[in-house]
Amino acid sequence: MTPRLLLIDNYDSFTYNLVQAFLVLGADVRVYRNDAIDRAAALALEPTHLVISPGPGRPENAGVSLEMIDCFAPTIPVLGVCLGHQSIVEHFGGQIIGAGSLTHGKSSEVSHDGQGVYRGL
């Protein structure tokens, strides 16, 4: 069965990097801007997966992102990238707060026990 992926675009240039990756994996990808689809139209697509893209701002200003998570999280897998991930956190009761110090792009050594998701690394 071909995955039917609904991707909510929060007006971010990285969105189509995600689209390309999912297409390479064989998914049928439908992309809608965060102000160009409503719950009824999204449900009519019958997606098997939901992806919320990165974008500027905060989850409460990300158009239908929170509504789509509310609609689909109980029944299909949901992936969020950056703002999309923050939207998932907020939807499930978490808080998005500023970091004490920013370390974006900084390399760090990571140690692990080779178990679970780290097996074979």
Ordered by where they begin, the domains of the chain are 11-28+35-48+55-94 (3.40.50.880)
Q: How far is Cα of residue 61 from the mean position of the Cα atoms in its chain?
A: 15
Angle at 83 between CA 118 and CA 5, to 5 degrees: 75
pLDDT at 120: 86
DSSP helix/strand/coil, 72: helix
Q: Between residues 111 and 59, which one has the greater pLDDT?
A: 59
Decide if 96 contacts 90 (C-beta within 8 A). Answer: yes
pLDDT at 87: 99
CB atoms within 10 A of CB 96: 13
- DSSP 8-state symbol, 20: H
Q: How confident is the model at residue 105 (pLDDT cuts 50, 70, 90)?
A: confident
pLDDT at 49: 99
Tokens of 71: 């609609």
